[in-house]
Chains A and B, each alone.
Chain A
């Protein structure tokens, strides 16, 4: 039995899921899918910044193109640490492609003119 809080909507139901993936405590169906994914392969969107060669904007904000497996988050942070980007950068430009073959890109979340 594992206790979880559903984060799909603001109500935040307190869920319980057992070894057979029976879910209780959910007020709607979406809680079931969330609980199963959360105990099998939890993923999260990651937002952070990378170094940018610019006087005015020393950091570039970036995000994952889709949710990343939770256990890979700190490895991604380490990989981004050694990265430096040159302006110009455009919104949603790919900064790092297919991290660890997981099918997740790192993309810019703003434009910095050259």
Chain B
């Protein structure tokens, strides 16, 4: 039995892609390694999901449950407790090997694959923190899972490194549960978190935020006993004499998320140096035809609404591929130019380009005002003014097929800052 589309991961991305592909008539099978569908949303019990997709503010579990309902209504096939380990390319498709708690080792054939495996958190080893190696230093998302899913508070006296949204949300959460949150340190001169989270998570509870600071020592034999933070200069070098000490039993790290592309390891798929996910065209198709990716497995999103919208488009594109309507022939590069961190897609398939592409991208620096400009050679083919830009927020620009002057000259997206 061969499935049309095999979806790896049952979070927001996998569910949306499966729903859309199934609506297009595909036979879909979704594999999820956890005991339930919903992915990371299950542990994100706070508010702030769904403002775009549902026009109301939901918690993570509420957002997940709406999609899980739609998924079950459509009777889409799925297996829980099933971890995908490897993908093999065959003549007419792929063979996916997976390990299932109930069924043991599985080899599943399919015509196309959607990678929707989410992301993982950077750990201490990946950012090289100095000092001892005691227990009590862990990623903020793991602490969130322990607390919100298992009901286990990981520590009583907490310090947090990194002021992204996960760090801020966890500062408030631990405080509410009775922990003493001593502070949050951020190496950059500004926080990457949403302003509303700084206000509602830190200011509300008088938790200090130390900007341009980082952890420079970790002390403790068995359990963590304390951390030292120091101010840094513009080259991130600690400034001597700025030390502050905190007696804490827990250090939470909120220092970045990375797409989980482990199952791609044995394939020769082109990866992007900035997103750390696969390089894709506007159909979310990787460099291997028939393999698609979406959600945090492709690039890290801060809004689940964008994950849903992107994954729907990816599901639709996979359906076109399986039906033989889209055979990739021609790739035109969309390059990241001045002040652009990355674009998505990175390529445009000009052989199957009808209508409008939603290009997603991030800027490299904060700006009050500026203009996005797409050039093909010297010609400007698209431009848009924008206000209040920040690297933490994803921007979007539509590209119409009729704007292209030819199918050979690569495109470049620049962000031009307008000084007030």
* Alpha-carbon distance between A70 and B172 when the two chains are bound, in angstroms: 13
Contact A110-B65, Cβ < 8 Å, known A7-B199, A10-B194? yes
**Segment at the interface with A among B145-153, B394-402, B405-413:** B145-153
- Chain B contact residues: over half helix, strand or loop, or mixed? helix
Q: Are A63 and B59 in contact (CB under 8 A)?
A: yes
Q: Kindly state whether residue A11 has any CB partner on chain B within 8 Å.
A: yes
Interface assignment of A36: CB less than 8 Å from any CB of chain B: no
Q: Is B243's beta carbon under 8 Å from chain A?
A: no
Cβ–Cβ < 8 Å partners of A56 in chain B: 35
Q: Which residues of A contact B240 (CB under 8 A)?
A: none
Q: Which residues of A contact B309 (CB under 8 A)?
A: none
**Contact A109:B62 (CB < 8 A) given known A51-B151, A56-B35:** yes
1/0 contact trace for A20-52 toward B, CB 8 Å?
000000000000000000000000111111010
How distant is B148 from chain A, measured CB to nearest CB, in Å? 6
- The number of residues on chain B lying at the interface, defined by a beta carbon within 8 Å of a beta carbon of chain A, is 28
A109 to B178, CA, bound (A): 22
Question: Do B62 and A59 have beta carbons less than 8 Å apart?
Answer: no
With both beta carbons as reference points, the residue of chain A lying nearest to B43 in the complex is identified as A61
Nearest-neighbour CB distance to chain A for B343, whole angstroms, equals: 22
Q: Does A73 contact B (CB under 8 A)?
A: yes
B179-215 to A contact mask, C-beta < 8 Å, 1/0? 0000000000000001110111001100000000000
B196 partner, pick from A10, A61, A73, A91, beta carbons under 8 A:
A10
A58 touches B196 (CB 8 A): no
- Counting CB contacts under 8 A, is B46 at the interface? yes
Residues of B within 8 A of A17 (CB): none
The CA-CA distance from A109 to B393 in the complex, in Å, is: 27
B200/A7 in contact, CB under 8 A: yes
Instruction: Please tell me the number of chain A residues within 8 Å of chain B, measured between CB atoms.
Output: 26
CB of B61 within 8 A of CB of A110, answer yes
Residues of B within 8 A of A77 (CB): 176-178
CB distance from B90 to the nearest CB of A (A): 37
Q: A48-B176, A49-B151, A58-B151 are in contact. Are A109 and B45 (CB under 8 A)?
A: yes
A12 within 8 A of B: yes
CB pair B151–A70 under 8 Å, yes or no, is no
Specify the chain A residue showing the minimal Cβ separation from B35: A56
User: In the assembled complex, which residues on chain B have CB atoms less than 8 Å from the CB atom of A58?
Assistant: 149-151
Q: How far is the CB of A102 from chain B (nearest CB, A)?
A: 18
Given contacts A5-B199, A10-B194, A110-B61, A47 and B204 within 8 Å (CB-CB) = no
25 contacts between A and B (CB under 8 A): A5-B198, A7-B195, A7-B196, A7-B200, A10-B194, A10-B195, A10-B196, A10-B388, A12-B196, A46-B176, A47-B45, A48-B45, A48-B176, A49-B148, A56-B35, A58-B149, A59-B148, A59-B149, A61-B45, A63-B59, A74-B176, A77-B176, A109-B59, A110-B42, A111-B65
Known: A11-B388, A48-B176, A77-B177. 6 other contacts (CB 8 A): A7-B195, A10-B393, A47-B47, A77-B178, A91-B65, A111-B65
Q: Which residues on B are within 8 Å of A, measured CB to CB?
A: 35, 42, 45-47, 59, 61-62, 64-65, 147-151, 176-178, 194-196, 198-200, 203-204, 388, 393
Report the 3 A-B pairs with minimum CB-CB distance, sorted nearest first: A12-B195, A7-B196, A110-B61
